Structure 1
């Protein structure tokens, strides 16, 4: 059962129990019972009727004996007296009196109970007053219990609406442990995620601007050289071609990353492919690139893993991880690529023998325009691993890095056979 249900149940149950306890307490204090006045009135009517019947049938002496016996049993102030005139029997009529005409004599039979009007009224109203007070206290407690976190949630949502993503309300729940508290912590997680996305967006704008400025500056420099020395046309055109190619590569990678991160609801153009066969093609091409630095790489891996994937994205993800390993591994070393398949999942390990990264940078290297602080710059823009993670996560998989005991860096890719819903928060678990 949810905690909030039990809290409401406990408050209502305590309210009812308190109401009963207060009623019992008041009854004991004031020696009064609910509806006691009504009971006493009915008792008086019964005694008056009995006394009148005894008087009419058996005479005055029998009626007096009944009166004494009745008073010894329950003292109601029952008395029998004679009036001065027989005509009084027709003149006086009250609830506490019976007038009986017997043998030409008018008898008055009356009761004078010890009724206390205040206590009788209190006894009559006591249950309703107790219920009203206890329900008011209970309603106030429930309202306060619910309204306080709702006010915090409203203030938090208002802050988000105004672009303030640093607001947190989980610490304002005053030690509560129920569904409302869980909602507050979910709000904090959402606010933190929005703040992270905003910071990433600002950082992306800054980094893209910085990366675009460098080739543009070199293009401007080449144009300036051509204006001063037209004879260097061939050399400067080659330089300009390289810079334009760098710009095209950067813009292509930025657009790919934007496509992956900007539309989480974008449908995949899935097709059935052998992912291991795709990986072997990448390894075959990468072997030529690795020879330039006297680096060897696992030529191929065995197995078959047919999966429903978007081929272009998976190809980019695998290629980026492999080329990143070639780029940062030390010269004359080996890059190991291993695979493991299960019924519904493929796991790929790519291990280099480079400088690696610090343990606190294992997540940061997957952010755009980011690499380890100790890594030697070897070109590129720091978008490869970011694109790889987004592409694999779009299929419901995982990409993460680890530090092997022998040094270097291992990047692990996990890909399901069929695309599934995935949240990056799963990595934190």
Structure 2
């Protein structure tokens, strides 16, 4: 059962248990001592009877003397009065008076009841008062326990609403270990992810602007040369065609990456195809291009792997990895491609013999416009691996890089037999 429930249960149960225990203890204390009212009534009866006996035996003077010398110890209000009507003593005694015939007259000894405040007066209200106190303590404790993290969450959400993605609340939970703390850490993770996406977006804007500026600058330079030397029209037009082609490729790759990123929540359009066959087609085209640099492609691919994937995305992902390997491997070296078929996925490893990257760059090379520090400029814009990761992860697969012992760089792709997002949207195979 959730820990937060048990905390609430413990607070309420302990409060009520302590309250009931206090009630039982208080009742035992009250019942164990003589009741104040009974004690007072017994004392009044003794004083009245003693004074009446003294009056009847020793006379009014002795009784008055007894009262006067014991005023400090006797109950307040004891009086002796005389009435001439002797027949008045025929009445019976009462709780606060005695009628005594003496010396041929009737004397009235009275001791009125004094109002006193005892535990019995509040006895009926003790349980209700205790329940009220217990409820107040419980409500205060629960409200304080709940409101403090809610206030931190509200502050965090307000910070996010104002674009402050660096705001964190997990360290303000004061050692709590419950669902509210887990929610606070989830908030921190979300804020960190939003901050990462914001940084990536700003970096992408910067990199796109930089990559677009270079061919545009060259186009501008070609136009300037034409204005000064119209005779170079042919050469400058060829140069402009190349720059326009580069711009077209760059814009196309940026749009592809944007579609993959923005469409991550959209269902795939899968089809059943043999991924190994698709890979062989790509390797055939790449081998033809690799001949120009004296690069050979060594393959270890057997069998077939039929999967339900979106063919265009998988083709683009495989092509980017293979062409990257051919592009960055050393001249007169080789690119090795191997496949391992598992029950639910296909593992493809593409290894080149190029300069590789540093261990701290193994994740960064999958970011847009990122290349290894030691990578030689070979054209391209550093978007290929970013597109590959987006395409494979949309299918529920995985892409990562490693550094082989022999040098170079290895890119590993794990392609599932059935795309997870495809199954989530419930499309029939």
| TM norm structure 2 | 0.78
- Determine the C-alpha separation between the residues in 2 that align with 1:114 and 1:183: 65
Q: CA deviation at 1:113?
A: 12
- Determine the C-alpha separation between the residues in 2 that align with 1:362 and 1:118: 83
- Determine the C-alpha separation between the residues in 2 that align with 1:299 and 1:264: 32
Match of 1:339 in 2: 339
Q: CA deviation at 1:137?
A: 1.1
- Determine the C-alpha separation between the residues in 1 that align with 2:152 and 2:336: 53
- Determine the C-alpha separation between the residues in 1 that align with 2:114 and 2:127: 23
Where does structure 2 lack aligned partners over 5 or more consecutive residues?
39-87, 97-111, 423-429
Q: CA deviation at 1:351?
A: 1.0
Q: CA deviation at 1:254?
A: 0.1
* SS across alignment from 1:356: coil
1:219 aligns with 2:253: no
Q: CA deviation at 1:300?
A: 6.4
Match of 2:397 in 1: 397
Q: Residues 2-45 of structure 1, C-alpha deviation per residue, up to 9 Å, x if partnerless? A: 110111111111111210222234335xx3149x99xx9xxxxx
Match of 1:153 in 2: 153
Match of 1:104 in 2: none
1:276 aligns with 2:266: no
Match of 2:71 in 1: none
Match of 1:291 in 2: 291
Q: CA deviation at 1:85?
A: 5.3
Moved over 6 A (4+): 112-116
* SS across alignment from 1:308: strand
* SS across alignment from 1:137: helix
The 1:255–1:33 alpha-carbon spacing in structure 2 relative to 1, beyond 3 Å, is farther
Match of 2:193 in 1: 193
- Determine the C-alpha separation between the residues in 1 that align with 2:2 and 2:404: 44
* SS across alignment from 1:388: helix
Match of 1:252 in 2: 252
What is the Cα-based RMSD across aligned positions, in Å? Answer: 2.7
- Determine the C-alpha separation between the residues in 2 that align with 1:397 and 1:116: 86
- Determine the C-alpha separation between the residues in 2 that align with 1:356 and 1:21: 74
Where does structure 1 lack aligned partners over 5 or more consecutive residues?
41-82, 97-111, 423-429
- Determine the C-alpha separation between the residues in 2 that align with 1:156 and 1:390: 30
Q: Which has the larger radius of gyration?
A: 2
| TM norm structure 1 | 0.78
* SS across alignment from 1:298: strand
- Determine the C-alpha separation between the residues in 2 that align with 1:407 and 1:151: 54
In the alignment, is the contact (CA less than 8 A) between 2:215 and 2:244 conserved in 1?
Answer: yes
Which runs of structure 2 are paired with 1:320-335 in the superposition (5 Å)? Answer: 320-335=320-335
Match of 1:427 in 2: none
Match of 2:373 in 1: 373
- Determine the C-alpha separation between the residues in 2 that align with 1:309 and 1:344: 13
